């Protein structure tokens, strides 16, 4: 009987991460300080350990994965590459659909791929306490889990709309020993200011980042960990695509198109970058890499390519990225992990240079796709993953019309077990599509910082 | 790097289930009608299809698994056999600890192992609608998933205490297209009677079974599906132990003791029976098989071995089993799947004849074990699984004292993603141990039906 899952042995867990910087046509633009000058590494050392900052700045193609990290990875990695046969049949498409199931991790998403090395490197640098932010709760639970693995205390600022919608993500973090606060909180200046402006603030990822950074910057014993956006996070996530390449070789197939949900960019970069290496080497010239974002937070498709802050309060260096403006406040859609005003510098530059594509999909279509996937394949996906599934299904339906037997591959970034309230609302007809008004985007873009 | 997971290929999914009846020293005692006479198969045909009833009555050692069922199984099976190395290290035990991770199924537990064939056999018999009950929600979501796989409509009576504690299990069933009602409901006579006696009834598995059976018996287009207790359910679950035997061979190890949580008996039977076959054949004479139940619902350790109804209203035939009395109302402890007044006939008889062991563990110790497991291995277990984990940890600690390097094996029946409210209460110190008073058990045992 044909296996629907292509699995690898623990010995096949990649030994190195892939750094896309080595293969980019142009070097990434440096982060800038408020004076418009490139930021020195030392300036970031208040919140990140040097071993992580070296990765952040590196242009080496291959970065070794420490043995201690691979030993934790093997609790769930290599993750399976799965063939969605029943979905293909339900769609009646000649396309072959594959997905990488990152929902098999302890925290239920791809996020531990970076949480584990970040906890390891901090521990190696003697740090015993981390702050972080979380949107959907996937990053927060991942760093809670990873902290537990290496004996590090963790405090998580959780975006309030998710804190309210997902109380059980909080329980999960607490089960792994972390402390969880709703953001905006009253214990940082950033949080108090936000509450003064709007006591009922939903919060946002940008705001929660500010809170976590403010605390880490103010405490000598505490560092900060970020779950997306930065180069080292995308680097760690390339383990997804690296494993997938081995698995496609075993399957005797190869993707024509790859879809990843895109918020900060770590799940898209993680699945896409290792395949981009082939394009850079002149192979797979027709391979298409598609970042899929929500129409309610469309940084790539509707934002400006400009220097902007990574957080809402302007604590971070300026990064050149597609952005909706650092004080853009996305609506409380349920794909909490995609509610970020910008996109990773690397994803932004590759998109700007035409090496990857982007498209935006509306909320209702993503849940429709998720339910269809659940009923065909059994797995209930995270709302973030539903964005990639929507785009994949749309392409599979185009293949049905054209008769093309394309190989489609998407990142099933996580399961939806902590998102059932969203499914409830979708099934009850209580969700809506939301397209951010152009004038509102223009308004927040008007606040972009002046550089230099 | 050593793999912590021993995986099999889809082609290694067993082709037959193992029927322990073939190897029991004495034939199982037959179910009896109210007149004390054995129940004819035809009498049960109102709610079960004949192909399932044949399995229920069979004494054949090996029963073929239909190809259509194996094709659905391969969505997640074979499930991994995992080595809990980090837990061993945390305990400092010389014991080797393994678990079978049944939480990888779509519904997150071992229950789809029987839901899928039950849906298949009903569909094969032309049935397009099923009723069932669910306690923790694991069985209900499994039959919702399985019904979706074969185009069968499903109505689930969900024990009210779980319905209230686990709203997201309900959403999960609805995502797979099932209808879910809190039990006791107002739409059956059983439910109305229960509400008349106590409008705030927590419900019980026995009561929900009565409701589902009442409806199925009264509708020609509808059959009933049970998630535990009956012979055919335990038969289907033997795929767990059968796969595990192949995996232990690959690992070059073999269990000395096997632990399964025990409510109705399907997860314990599923992991233990295939190993019992070796004992019956004179191999593995020292292998110990341990059913672990809660002190709050201790049917094996505190019940009577007697003929009793399988449900609370007396709709089912009488079965010889360890029982606390069919109108025993267990307290609302959080291991909803273990809140059943009796135990499977097969498990009961094997226990009575000394081939298996049983022990009862209190609630707080089970959650303590579950949190310890989560912090060591990453996986947050279902509260039912925590019973087996507690017993395994206790044995591993005994090994630490004695220096014995035993191989311990337990059934991780499911993940706890829908049980975080229970973990919340545990972490907040709001849970208690509960030992059912002997006089209360005696009182419900006084209502045992008179036979013949």
A291-320: pLDDT as tens digits: 999 999 999 999 999 999 988 888 889 999
The arithmetic mean of pLDDT across residues B37-42, rounded, is 90
Q: What DSSP designation does B329 have? A: -
pLDDT bracket for residue A452 (50, 70, 90): low
Interface subset of A 132-151, CB within 8 angstroms of B: 145, 148-149
Alpha-carbon gap, residue A60 to A82, rounded angstroms: 31
Of B1, B9, B371, the CB nearest to A175: B371
- Is there a domain that residue A268 lies in? yes
Helix (H, G, I), strand (E, B) or coil at B207: helix
Question: Measured between beta carbons, which residues in chain B are less than 8 angstroms from residue A1?
Answer: 10-11, 13, 67, 70-71, 74
User: Does the distance separating the beta carbons of B172 and A420 come in below 8 Å?
Assistant: yes
Domain identity same for A100 and A221: no
- Smallest Cβ–Cβ distance between B2 and the set A10, A106, A177 belongs to A10
Rounded Cα–Cα distance for residues B122 and B128 (Å): 7
C-beta neighbour count of A395 within 10 angstroms: 22
pLDDT at position B333: 67
Measured between alpha carbons, how far is B422 from B430 in angstroms, rounded to an integer? 9
CA distance to partner chain B, nearest, from residue A163 (Å): 14
Tell whether B379 lies on the interface with A, counting CB pairs under 8 A: yes
Alpha carbons B258 and B407: distance in angstroms, whole number: 9
Nearest to A85 by CA among A73, A74, A70, A97: A97
In a domain, A28, yes or no: yes
Say how far apart CA B106 and CA B85 lie, in whole Å: 26
Q: Any chain B CB within 8 A of the CB of A178?
A: no
**Do A42 and A159 fall within a single domain?**
yes
| Nearest-CB residue to A378 (from B75, B380, B423) | B75
Q: Which pair of structure tokens corresponds to residue A104?
A: 């098999």
**Widest CA span of chain A, in angstroms?**
63
Q: Which residues of A touch B1 (CB under 8 A)?
A: 10-11, 13, 67, 70-71, 74
Measured in residues, chain A has a length of: 452
Q: pLDDT at position A420, please? A: 94
Residues A174, B424: C-beta atoms closer than 8 Å: yes
- Residues B161-199, buried b or exposed e (16+ Cβ, 10 A)? bbbebbbbbbbbbbbbbbebbbbbbeebebbeebbeeee
DSSP annotation of A1 reads -
Whether B250 has its CB under 8 Å from any CB of chain A: the answer is no
| Min Cα–Cα distance to chain A from B363, Å | 17
Higher pLDDT, B2 or A115: A115
Residue of B3, B73, B382 for testing the chain A interface, max A β-carbons within 10 Å: B3
CA distance A76 to chain B (A): 8
CB contacts, 8 Å: A105 with chain B:
378
Half-sphere exposure of A342 (CA within 13 A, CB side): 32
- Asked whether residue A440 carries a pLDDT value surpassing 90, the answer given is no
Q: Give A57-66 pLDDT, tens digit per residue.
A: 999 999 999 9
Confidence at residue A167, expressed as pLDDT on a 0 to 100 scale = 84
Residue A193 clears pLDDT 80, i.e. is over it: yes
Q: Which of A334-348, B153-167, B258-272 has the lowest mean pLDDT?
A: A334-348
> Quick check: B398 contacting A, CB < 8 Å?
no
| pLDDT value of position A332 | 66
With an 8 Å Cβ cutoff, are A13 and B7 in contact? Answer: no
Mean pLDDT of A154-168: 90
CA A291 to centroid of chain Cα atoms: 11
A115 interaction partners in chain B (CB closer than 8 Å): none
| Averaged confidence pLDDT in chain B | 94
Do A185 and A292 lie in a common domain?
no
Residues in a beta bridge with B98: B83, B409
**Is a pLDDT exceeding 90 seen at residue B136?**
no
User: Which of A2, A4, A5 is the mutation pick for testing B, counting most B CBs within 10 A?
Assistant: A5
Q: Which residues of A touch B375 (CB under 8 A)?
A: 148, 175-177
Residue B181 has φ and ψ, to the nearest 5°, of -125, 145
Is residue A9 domain-resident?
A: no
**Which chain A residues are within 8 Å of B423, Cβ to Cβ?**
171-172, 174-175
Cβ pairs A/B, distance under 8 A: 126
* pLDDT of amino acid B313: 81
Cα dihedral B365, B371, B375, B380 sign? positive
Tell whether the torsion through CA atoms of A349, A350, A356 and A361 is positive or negative: negative
The β-bridge partners of A321 are A306
Last residue of a domain, one of A213, A231, A249: A231
Last residue of a domain, one of A201, A231, A261: A231
Residues of B in contact with A67 (CB under 8 A): 1
CB proximity under 8 Å: A 32-91 to B: 67, 70-71, 74-76, 86
Return the beta strands (E) in B10-152 as ranges: 16-18, 62-64, 81-83, 96-101, 129-134
H helix runs in A92-136, sequence order: 112-124
Higher-pLDDT residue of A285, A223:
A223
Q: Is the pLDDT of residue B330 over 80?
A: no
Q: A10 to chain B: which residues are within 8 Å by CB? A: 1-5
pLDDT at site A406: 98
A308 and A407 belong to one structural domain? yes
Q: Which residues of B touch A380 (CB under 8 A)?
A: 106, 172, 175
For residue A363, being part of any structural domain is answered with yes
Instruction: Check pLDDT > 80 for residue B331.
Output: no
Please check whether residue B45 lies inside any domain of the structure: no
Report chain A residues whose CB lies below 8 A from the CB of B378.
75-76, 105-107, 145, 149
Q: Is residue A7 part of a domain?
A: no
Are residues A296 and A387 located together in one domain of the fold? yes
A378 vs B9, B145, B421: nearest CB: B145
- Residue B327: domain span: 67-108+231-445
| ipTM, interface predicted TM-score of the complex | 0.95
Q: Is the pLDDT of residue B373 over 80?
A: yes
Are residues A255 and A402 both part of a single domain? yes
Q: Over A332-345, what HEC string results?
A: CCCCHHHCCCECCH
Among the listed residues A380, A33, A442, the one whose alpha carbon sits nearest the alpha carbon of residue B177 = A380
Ranges A114-118, B140-144, B337-341: which has the least confidence: B337-341
Cα angle B182, B185, B187; round to 5 = 135
| Gap between the Cα atoms of B288 and B279, Å rounded | 10
Question: Are the Cβ atoms of A3 and B9 closer than 8 angstroms?
Answer: yes
Which distant-in-sequence residues (6+ apart) come within 8 Å of A238 by Cβ?
A17, A18, A19, A20, A269, A270, A273, A274
Count of C-beta atoms within a 10 Å radius of residue B12 = 16
- What tens digit of pLDDT does each residue of B174-227 get? 999 999 999 999 999 999 999 999 999 988 888 899 999 999 999 999 999 999
In this complex, do A177 and B375 lie within 8 Å of one another by their Cβ atoms?
yes
Write the residue in B75, B167, B168 that is nearest to A4 by C-beta.
B75
Measured in angstroms, the CA of B246 and the nearest CA of chain A are apart by 17
Q: Tokens representing A256?
A: 């024509």
Out of B70, B175, B427, closest to residue A374 by CB: B175
Per the CB < 8 A criterion, the answer to whether B391 and B81 are in contact is: no
pLDDT (0 to 100) of residue A35? 87
- Chain B residues closer than 8 Å to A101 by CB: none
Closest approach of A313 to chain B, Cα-based (Å):
33
Interchain CB contact of B410 with A (< 8 Å): no
- Would you say residue B400 has pLDDT above 70? yes
Domains contained in chain A, number: 2
What are the structure tokens assigned to A451, written together? Answer: 């550089």
The candidate with the shortest Cα–Cα distance to A132, out of A143, A121, A124, A123, is A143
Residue with tokens 């406040």: A329
When pLDDT is averaged across residues B429-435 and rounded to a whole number, the result is: 90
Assess whether pLDDT exceeds 80 at residue A153.
yes
Is residue B213 in some structural domain?
no
User: What is the torsion angle, in degrees rounded to the nearest 10, for the CA atoms of residue B385, residue B390, residue B393 and residue B397?
Assistant: -170
Mean pLDDT computed over every residue of chain A = 94
* Nearest of A60, A68, A66, A73 to residue A21 by alpha carbon: A60
Which helix or strand (DSSP H or E) is residue B305 part of?
strand B304-309
Interval A38-54: pLDDT, tens: 998 888 999 999 999 99
Cβ contact A10–B7 (<8 Å): no
Of B10, B106, B418, the CB nearest to A378: B106
Instruction: Answer whether A3 sits within 8 Å of B11, measured CB to CB.
Output: yes
Q: Is the pLDDT of residue A110 over 70?
A: yes
The rounded distance, in Å, linking the Cα atoms of A365 and B180 is 25
> Looking at the structure, do residues A203 and A150 belong to the same domain, yes or no?
yes
- A165 shares a domain with A38: yes
Interface of B with A in 313-372 (CB under 8 A): 371
Band of pLDDT at residue B69, cut at 50, 70 and 90: very high
From chain A, pick out residues whose CB is under 8 angstroms from the CB of B414: none
Mean local confidence (pLDDT), B396-416: 98
Element housing A55 (H / E): helix A50-57
A214 with A285, same domain? no
Query: Are A203 and A295 contained in the same domain?
Result: no
> If you average pLDDT over residues A18-22, what whole number do you get?
98
Q: Which chain A residue shows the shortest CA-CA distance from B90?
A: A149
Q: Do A438 and A354 fall within a single domain?
A: yes
Residues of A in Cβ contact (< 8 Å) with B138: none
> B374-390 b/e with 16+ CB inside 10 Å = b?
bbbbbbbbbbbbbbbbb
Residues A266 and A297 in one domain: yes
Tell whether A124 is within 8 A of chain B (Cβ).
no
The reply to whether B398 falls in a domain is yes
Of A187, A213, A231, the residue at which a domain comes to its end is: A231
Dump pLDDT digits (tens) for A419-432: 999 999 999 999 98
Nearest Cα residue in chain B from A148: B375
Asked if residue B124 lies in contact with residue B217, where contact means CB atoms within 8 angstroms, the answer is no
- Is B2 in the A-facing interface, judged by CB distances under 8 Å? yes
The closest alpha carbon to B213, from B139, B138, B314, belongs to: B314
Share of chain A above pLDDT 90, in %: 83
With 0-12 / 13-18 / 19 or more C-beta atoms within 10 angstroms meaning exposed / middle / buried, residue A168 is buried
Q: Give the domain CATH number at A365.
A: 3.40.50.1100
Helix%, strand%, coil% for chain A, nearest 5: 45, 15, 40
Residue A24 confidence (pLDDT): 96
Q: Cβ B375–A176 below 8 Å, yes or no?
A: yes
Cβ contact B168–A171 (<8 Å): no
Q: Which two tokens stand for residue B242?
A: 């059968």
Contact A383, A74 (CB under 8 A): no
Q: Using a CB-CB distance cutoff of 8 angstroms, which residues of chain A are in contact with residue B412? A: none
Measured between alpha carbons, how far is residue A341 from residues A303, A364, B205 in Å? 9, 21, 49
Q: Tell me the per-residue pLDDT of A390-439, one tens digit each, with 9 for 90 and over.
A: 999 999 999 999 999 999 999 999 999 999 999 999 999 999 888 888 88
The average pLDDT across B258-273 equals 97
What's the pLDDT band for B129 if we cut at 50, 70, 90? Answer: very high
């Amino acid at each position: 009987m044909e296996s629907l899952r292509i699995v690898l042995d623990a010995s096949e867990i990649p030994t190195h991460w892939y750094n896309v910087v080595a293969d980019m046509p142009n070097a990434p633009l440096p982060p800038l300080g408020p004076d418009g000058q490139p930021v020195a590494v030392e300036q970031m050392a208040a919140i990140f350990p040097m071993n992580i900052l070296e990765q952040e700045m590196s242009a080496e193609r291959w970065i070794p994965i420490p043995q201690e990290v691979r030993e934790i990875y093997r609790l769930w990695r290599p993750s399976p590459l799965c063939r969605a046969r029943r979905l293909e049949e339900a769609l009646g498409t000649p396309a072959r659909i594959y997905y990488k199931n990152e929902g098999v991790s302890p925290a239920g998403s791809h996020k531990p791929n970076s949480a584990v090395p970040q906890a390891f490197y901090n521990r190696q640098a003697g740090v015993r306490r981390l702050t972080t932010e979380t949107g959907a709760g996937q990053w927060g639970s991942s760093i809670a889990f990873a902290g537990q693995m290496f004996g590090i205390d963790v405090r998580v600022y959780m975006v309030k709309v998710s804190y309210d919608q997902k109380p059980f993500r909080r329980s999960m973090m607490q089960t792994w020993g972390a402390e969880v606060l709703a953001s905006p909180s009253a214990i940082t200046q950033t949080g108090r200011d936000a509450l003064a402006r709007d006591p009922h603030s939903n919060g946002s990822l940008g705001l929660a980042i500010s809170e976590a950074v403010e605390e880490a910057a103010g405490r000598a014993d505490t560092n900060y960990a970020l779950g997306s956006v930065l180069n080292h996070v995308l680097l760690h996530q390339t383990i997804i695509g690296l494993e997938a390449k081995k698995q496609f070789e075993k399957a005797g197939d190869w993707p024509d198109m790859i879809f990843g949900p895109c918020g900060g960019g770590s799940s898209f970069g993680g699945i896409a970058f290792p395949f981009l290496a082939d394009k850079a080497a002149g192979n797979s010239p027709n391979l298409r890499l598609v970042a899929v974002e929500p129409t309610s937070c469309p940084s790539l498709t509707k934002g400006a390519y400009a220097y902007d802050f990574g957080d809402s309060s302007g604590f971070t260096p300026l990064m050149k990225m597609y952005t909706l403006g650092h004080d853009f406040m996305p609506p409380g859609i349920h794909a909490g992990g995609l509610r970020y005003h910008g996109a990773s510098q690397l994803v932004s530059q590759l998109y700007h240079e035409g090496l990857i594509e982007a498209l935006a999909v509306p909320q209702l279509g993503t849940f429709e796709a998720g339910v269809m996937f659940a009923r065909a394949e059994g797995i209930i996906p995270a709302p973030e993953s539903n964005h990639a599934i929507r785009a994949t299904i749309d392409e599979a339906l185009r293949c049905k019309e054209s008769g093309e037997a394309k190989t489609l591959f998407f990142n099933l970034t996580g399961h939806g077990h902590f998102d059932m309230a969203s499914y409830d609302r979708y099934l009850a007809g209580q969700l809506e599509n939301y397209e951010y008004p152009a004038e509102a985007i223009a308004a927040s873009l008007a606040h972009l910082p002046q550089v230099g």
